[in-house]
């Protein structure tokens, strides 16, 4: 009888232990205080990316880190537990040491999926290349429209490409950007010029050659819209870890 009671007690205790573990609430502070091991540039605690998507982003960001030492880190969490997402991103950047010590050239892209909030926080050394306005443009015009359509991978891919461009002084906010069409004002003007040239050549009897040239130019103008796909191929290595960078609180937050 005692043996049966003992077994029953063990069963009950095991059940409650398993139940309490499953019901344990997610804590953003646990993520902030505990760097991933091994350290990675793409950390999906919300489980919204496929393994292939995570690997593609990791490879892209590793290649950029390897060639420039600038570390862009993507962190997806279910929630920030009521904490201001900007504060959470800065805390995470400091705690993990994203970027290089002295250069402070890290960037945190923190995404709280259930809260539908996100933040871009640059380290001290990148606040000039990624001012608050640029971070806001990347969020509002590139990342958020994709997230609204539940396309998290595309939003992160295009968003990190825009961040890379900004750190290199090459980012231009895409006027009129939305998920289905990315024709900015400059591209519309180019298309108008091509059409005018076609009409001029046609009126002078240019024949089929001018039509082919116009079609080719128009196709190139329409086909260069995506910001994704920086890098490519195999990584040729693996991420070596964060370098001890620090953060000051710049950047911008948004929602979708």
157 pLDDT more than 90: yes
- The answer to whether residues 64 and 72 touch, using CB atoms and an 8 Å cutoff, is yes
Q: Encode pLDDT of 164-187 as tens digits.
A: 999 988 777 666 544 444 444 455
The alpha carbon of residue 232 and the mean position of all alpha carbons in its chain are separated, in whole angstroms, by 16
Flag the least confident range among 62-71, 93-102, 117-126, 217-226.
Answer: 217-226
pTM of the entire predicted model: 0.68
Across the beta sheet with 252-255, the strand order is 42-44, 71-77, 106-112, 117-122, 252-255
- The answer to whether residues 80 and 117 touch, using CB atoms and an 8 Å cutoff, is yes
Q: Encode pLDDT of 7-59 as tens digits.
A: 544 444 444 444 333 445 778 999 999 988 888 999 999 999 999 999 999 99
Over residues 192-202, the mean pLDDT reads 61
Q: How far apart are CA 169 and CA 109, in angstroms?
A: 19
Residue carrying the six token digits 């950007």: 177
- The answer to whether residues 77 and 28 touch, using CB atoms and an 8 Å cutoff, is yes
**Percent of the chain scored above 70 by pLDDT?**
64
Flag the least confident range among 62-71, 146-155, 211-220, 242-251.
Answer: 211-220
Strands (DSSP E) along the chain, which ranges? 42-44, 71-77, 106-112, 117-122, 252-255
Q: What is residue 178's DSSP assignment?
A: B
Q: Which residues of 241-253 are buried (b: 16+ CB within 10 A; e: fewer)?
A: ebbbbbbeebbbb
- Across all residues in the chain, what is the average pLDDT? 77
Identify the pLDDT of residue 17.
Answer: 42
């Amino acid at each position: 009888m005692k043996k049966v009671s003992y077994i029953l007690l063990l069963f009950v205790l095991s059940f409650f232990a398993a139940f309490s573990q499953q019901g344990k609430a997610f804590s953003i502070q646990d993520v902030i205080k505990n760097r991933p091991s091994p350290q990675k540039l793409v950390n999906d605690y919300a489980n919204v990316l496929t393994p292939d998507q995570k690997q593609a982003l990791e490879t892209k960001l590793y290649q950029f880190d390897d060639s420039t030492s600038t570390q862009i880190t993507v962190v997806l969490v279910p929630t920030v537990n009521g904490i201001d997402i900007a504060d959470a991103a800065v805390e995470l950047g400091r705690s993990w040491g994203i970027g290089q010590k002295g250069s402070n050239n890290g960037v945190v892209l923190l995404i709280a999926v259930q809260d539908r909030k996100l933040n871009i926080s640059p380290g001290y050394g990148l606040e000039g290349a990624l001012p608050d306005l640029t971070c806001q443009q990347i969020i509002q015009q590139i990342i958020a429209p994709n997230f609204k359509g539940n396309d998290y991978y595309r939003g992160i891919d295009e968003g990190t490409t825009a961040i890379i461009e900004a750190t290199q002084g090459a980012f231009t906010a895409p006027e009129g950007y939305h998920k289905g069409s990315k024709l900015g004002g400059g591209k519309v003007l180019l298309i108008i010029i091509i059409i005018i040239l076609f009409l001029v050549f046609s009126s002078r009897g240019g024949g089929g050659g001018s039509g082919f040239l116009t079609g080719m130019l128009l196709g190139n103008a329409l086909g260069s819209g995506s910001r994704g796909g920086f890098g490519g191929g195999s990584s040729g290595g693996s991420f070596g870890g964060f370098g001890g960078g620090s953060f000051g609180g710049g950047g911008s937050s948004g929602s979708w």
